[in-house]
Amino acid sequence: MKNLQSAFDVRQNLQKLGDKNKAKILMRFFKTGKGQYAEGDLFWGINVPNIRIVAKKAAGIELNEVDKLIQDSVHEVRLCALLILVYKFNSSDDSIKVDIYNLYLGKSKYINNWDLVDVTSPNIVGNYLLGRDRSILYKMAGSDNIWERRIAIISTFAFIKRGDFKDAINICKLLISDKHDLIHKATGWMLREIYKRDREPVIKLLDEYAASMPRTMLRYSIEKMDEPARLHYLHLRDKKNKLK
């Protein structure tokens, strides 16, 4: 495959890789049915390794062309666009990185499923905010948009990997009472990642919040603990719920 020059080229190359049977499976997996969190999203049925190949071949296209792809109705096209931004970000100077960061957040309504968030937000939003003001994440954590809330917590993975846990812990606290299962999973995941590096911040948070946090969030966060510790925190939560 030659290097791709435009949004049109990218879309054409992706469409050729589609598989209708796989598309049906993906549409069920990503909850595209009526009333589900990704209602109406369209899939061509392309696996992620192939999307990455196309994205790498398109890493040289202009940002205005990537913008077109981000707004596409097809899920894999949007994922490819976001991966192009990741590859561009990794190879660009600061002046281009700020443009990529602004484009990414400016199009957050199109970053509308957990996979789109998870494979890109730490690499763009998180990495951009290293050494910068992070108040935008706190604002997004309070958004009515589930995907902005997920971007807020998953972006902190970039900090966690560098041993910087403060903002991740603070945003986890803001999301303790969130109603959506996808936020419970994301928050618990980040707590688990912190625990793998430093147990103390997570133990301190759980001692205060385990009894009141959603069960899924708690289970994700304690996954790497030994059995006595896991049972202790599950017992705290179950005990409080029995008293209600």
Q: Is residue 10 part of a domain?
A: yes
206 shares a domain with 154? yes
Q: Is residue 118 part of a domain?
A: no
Q: Is residue 120 part of a domain?
A: no
Domain end position, chosen among 112, 137, 159: 112
Domains in the chain: how many in total?
2
Tell me what pLDDT residue 242 has.
Answer: 60
Tell me what pLDDT residue 240 has.
Answer: 66
192 shares a domain with 97? no
145 shares a domain with 90? no
Range of the domain at 10: 1-112
Q: What is the torsion angle, in degrees rounded to the nearest 10, for the CA atoms of residue 207, residue 183, residue 188 and residue 122?
A: -120
pLDDT digits 0-9 by tens, 144-190: 999 999 999 999 999 999 999 999 999 999 999 999 999 999 999 99
Q: Is residue 122 part of a domain?
A: no
187 shares a domain with 224? yes
Tell me what pLDDT residue 243 has.
Answer: 54
Domain end position, chosen among 112, 140, 157: 112
Weakly modelled stretches of the chain, pLDDT under 50: none
Tell me what pLDDT residue 33 has.
Answer: 95
137 shares a domain with 65? no
Tell me what pLDDT residue 239 has.
Answer: 74
Look up the CATH number of the domain holding residue 193.
1.25.10.90
Tell me what pLDDT residue 238 has.
Answer: 81
Q: Is residue 213 part of a domain?
A: yes
